[in-house]
Amino acid sequence: MDHRLSPELEELRRTVEEFAHDVVAPKIGDFYERHEFPYEIVREMGRMGLFGLPFPEEYGGMGGDYLALGIALEELARVDSSVAITLEAGVSLGAMPLHLFGTEEQKREWLPRLCAGEMLGAFGLTEPDGGSDAGATRTTARLDPETDEWVINGSKCFITNSGTDITGLVTVTAVTGRKPDGRPQISAIIVPSGTPGFTVAAPYSKVGWNASDTRELSFADVRVPAANLVGEEGRGYAQFLRILDEGRIAIAALATGLAQGCVDESVKYAKERHAFGRPIGANQAIQFKIADMEMKAHTARLAWRDAASRLVAGEPFKKEAALAKLYSSTVAVDNARDATQIHGGYGFMNEYPVARMWRDSKILEIGEGTSEVQRMLIARELGLVS
């Protein structure tokens, strides 16, 4: 399999690389320090078409695919992960469920604004009592036959992009009945922002991703039309497994970008910083550390591009997506730790990008399936779990 980029993808990569350096890098540190959502940067990303990358042109998308999305995420995360996760969650979690499983009306109503980045969508799966065991959803939705509306009750936690000024909807998973064997039947339902009874809490105080929006949501007798069901009733569990499989490739691309950003910053710093009368990069201990960091970023890139190529070709990609997510998030944490070490005391100062990368790396081993969950998926694909 050839993982070199086509001329079109290379052009996209270069465009996003320039944007990340010229527009994101000079501004994002201040947004991060203030824990503020970077509306002006997100608006610009929308104008560039990044939120529409993998969607068809008829719905306002760019007609690309997951490879194109991964390229953009990697280049953004080389500079900053808050803007990268805003794009990842907006596309993979906000818009993709509607594109893959929505009705024609739902696509026409929501996708053009989501693709333009004028509106953000969110995906509410995780609940306070459990994220990895997503089948244990407690939020319920009951169809009221008199009004033909879903009545939703429950809560969700850690939901990305769910409380910005431009958030338009959250697709939530809820128990809508029981299967004959007593197991819950889970469905996905669109809840537009501002629906009465739908409360969005204040942003969390987080270790990292501080310029990205993450909130707790609660639903108290929230009523939405029956037509807001996404896909078939009871298919919500299968749908979100598919969404998460794809999302893992996007997170792997993002993690690769962070790992590469650590190399970029370390090479620069190792040449500039002098100790004992010469650049610290003249020491083989530093050279070897950076060489290992580059090896890890390169291998992570091959892993996510392999998974993305399989997805785009319509081939099975579950195991490769889990491998890519597990590997890239592990090396992102490794590289962030090593880059901080290479920067010495300055690496602990927030004005240096590697300090932000260190804080932003840990969540990559947790979000969209923890490293343990990736190992469970890989073991299952290897036939080790019955």
Ligand X SMILES: Cc1cc2nc3c(=O)[nH]c(=O)nc-3n(C[C@H](O)[C@H](O)[C@H](O)COP(=O)(O)OP(=O)(O)OC[C@H]3O[C@@H](n4cnc5c(N)ncnc54)[C@H](O)[C@@H]3O)c2cc1C
**Residues that bind ligand X in the complex, under the rule CB under 6 A:** 89, 93, 122-126, 130-132, 158-160, 206, 209, 214, 363, 366-370, 372-373
CA–CA gap between residue 379 and residue 81 (Å, rounded) = 29
Cα separation, 133 vs 237, whole angstroms: 11
- To ligand X, the closest distance from the beta carbon of 80 in angstroms equals 15
Nearer to ligand X, 244 or 331 (CB): 244
Note the maximum CA span of the chain: 81
CB 191 within 8 A of CB 162: no
Q: Of 261, 189, 224, nearest to 25 (Cα)?
A: 261
CB 147 → ligand X: shortest distance, Å? 28
274-275 and 184-192 as β-strands: parallel, antiparallel, unpaired? Answer: unpaired
**Strand partners for 17:** none
Q: Which is nearer to ligand X, 38 or 369 (CB)?
A: 369
Alpha carbon distance 153, 142 (integer Å): 9
Taking the complex as a whole, the smallest distance from the CB of residue 159 to ligand X amounts, in Å, to: 5
> Is 267 or 376 the residue whose CB approaches ligand X more closely?
376
**Residue the block writes with tokens 């190792």:** 270
Closer residue to ligand X (CB): 137 or 260: 137
**Residue 88 a catalytic site member:** no
Q: How far is CA 145 from CA 148, 149, 222, in A?
A: 5, 7, 15
Residue closest to ligand X (Cβ): 131
d(CA 381, CA 306): 17
User: From the CB of 151, what's the least distance to ligand X, in Å?
Assistant: 21
Task: Please report, for residues 41, 83, 128, the alpha-carbon distance to residue 48 in angstroms, rounded to integers and kept in the order given.
Answer: 11, 14, 36
> Shortest approach of ligand X to residue 62 CB, angstroms?
23
Identify the sign of the CA torsion 267, 269, 28, 126: positive
d(CA 364, CA 375): 15
Q: Which is nearer to ligand X, 37 or 269 (CB)?
A: 37
Q: What is the dihedral of CA 62, 66, 69, 70, to 10 degrees?
A: -160
Please check whether residue 170 is in contact with residue 219, taking contact to mean a CB–CB distance below 8 angstroms.
Answer: no
Counted residue by residue, the chain has a size of 386
Task: Please identify, using beta-carbon distances, which residue of 312 and 366 lies nearer to ligand X.
Answer: 366
Residue 206 CB, shortest distance to ligand X, in Å, is: 6
List the catalytic residue out of 17, 368, 372, 381: 368
> What is the set of active-site residues?
368
